[in-house]
Structure 1
């Protein structure tokens, strides 16, 4: 095969198709935890309000809402993944042997995003590097609500995954208020958990009857989401994935599909095909998620 511009265009087209097909077969659960925004700036300050929405009766002068403007600042980090190929692979029609490597790039992209989400699920209770807009750790036992002078928790450092623990976590989320002091109408419907807690999660959600023969009030109340990437930590929590904004913000400064970064030819014995992604993750709506650590048996 000749090393012409048309050859490299054709290779790029074939590899892109393989890449896109591989993406369709990879996990997507992490997208339920994030709001994804693409902006071509290195550092961005996101401003938003934390309220449910609604209208007031118009009597007399128009009533203006004086809500707190919440801000989070994210600075992107640079990532890349690529494969190198030799020009003799093109010359002797061996490019098809790179199918597995191209599929690996798709895995790199998806699992990079998964790693960012898992990092926050594991470490979001730490004060260093994981603060939310209220300058508290994203998972925290005392998030302040200005309008009501109350605090709410979305972190439990010793809460078992059983009926009592589920009730406490669920009620805590349902009672959370916005900056205007009104309910945010949080409705957790996903129970996420690490692999070691799978038995407890299934026991409390999938059994119709309790050990004493009574009806299980939590039967099929939540969708179960096992996150193996959490490792052996005894972590679990609840999630409301149906709000306009997710609990985490994924800021993408620049992201492209894989492309020919360097052609192989007279100047280079090897070519490079891959992609760059500039992004970062930050805490957004802590109200839509909670985390608990179950005691070890």
Structure 2
């Protein structure tokens, strides 16, 4: 290939097309537990997600609920990945060697939300949320029906591999993916660029700005106890009994069980087997969807 303005424009177009096509074709999993929030600033501030009470009978004037605007803040982060391509390889028509590399760059850019959300989820055992408690905790402070503070738990305890029961039926989710700047590819292919003069190579790079954070802790229940039918039943019961701000019955629907790959068998036995270990009808069959997430810690 002759290295000139027209050929470089065509090459950039080809690489950009390969990048964008792969970027939109990757199947991701973070949306099972995270809501996407489009961010327009360096730091995004959220209200406390636990303060909404139930609807009340309208007697007299309206009762206005005002959320605390500064419940918590998620700071956007910047990510990059770049690859250099020898000008000799382009001159020798070796472009086919690099197209898969550009596509892989798009793959990791598309999967970045998965990496961030699932990593942040596991940090919930050791990271405080807006109420001063760990995201997964036995003592989340909530205002009860009488106006007094009560404790609500979304953690079953234990020390083993964690599994999670989630209500994924609502617009609000237990996790947040904050999207500030979509992934895009840029190039340094000007024949006057320093990389051309000093290294005799062109450079293509991807950039994305985003972050992950905690959302509504009420919508997820974590356990590090063994994944047994009894513990699964107890987790469902705990979610069903959970109350929100001013005693609101949250009407939670634990429809999603998330497990690491080491607990896939136990999850399938609980949710898919027709009969339990004793030979009796499995009452928990099809009570939730099973999601096996390879990014979760195995132990």
TM-score by length of 2: 0.68
How far has the Cα of 1:211 moved from its partner?
Answer: 3.0
* Greater than 6 Å deviation, 4+ residue runs: none
Where do 5+ consecutive residues of structure 1 fail to align?
Answer: 234-297
**CA distance change for structure 1 residues 121 and 57 in 2, over 3 Å: closer, same or farther?**
closer
Quick one: distance in 1 between partners of 2:4 and 2:40? 33
Contact 2:45–2:69, Cα closer than 8 Å, also in 1:
no
Provide the residue aligned with 1:29 in structure 2. 29
What does 1:206-217 align with in structure 2 at a 5 Å threshold?
206-217=272-283
Quick one: distance in 2 between partners of 1:121 and 1:62? 38
Contact 2:22–2:103, Cα closer than 8 Å, also in 1:
yes
How far has the Cα of 1:79 moved from its partner?
Answer: 1.4
Contact 1:50–1:179, Cα closer than 8 Å, also in 2:
yes
Q: Which structure is richer in relative contact order (CA contacts within 8 A, separation 6 or more)?
A: 1
What does 1:191-230 align with in structure 2 at a 5 Å threshold?
191-230=257-296
How far has the Cα of 1:165 moved from its partner?
Answer: 0.7
**CA distance change for structure 1 residues 70 and 156 in 2, over 3 Å: closer, same or farther?**
farther
Provide the residue aligned with 1:138 in structure 2. 135
What does 1:4-43 align with in structure 2 at a 5 Å threshold?
4-43=4-43
What does 1:5-84 align with in structure 2 at a 5 Å threshold?
5-50=5-50, 55-65=55-65, 71-84=71-84
Secondary structure at the residue paired with 2:125? coil
How far has the Cα of 1:13 moved from its partner?
Answer: 2.6
Alignment root-mean-square deviation, CA:
2.4
Secondary structure at the residue paired with 1:202? helix
TM-score by length of 1: 0.69
1:167 counterpart = 2:233: yes
How far has the Cα of 1:54 moved from its partner?
Answer: 5.8
CA deviation map 1:199-237 (0-9, x unaligned): 11111111111233321110111111111222421xxxx
1:102 counterpart = 2:99: no
Where do 5+ consecutive residues of structure 2 fail to align?
Answer: 159-224
Secondary structure at the residue paired with 1:157? strand
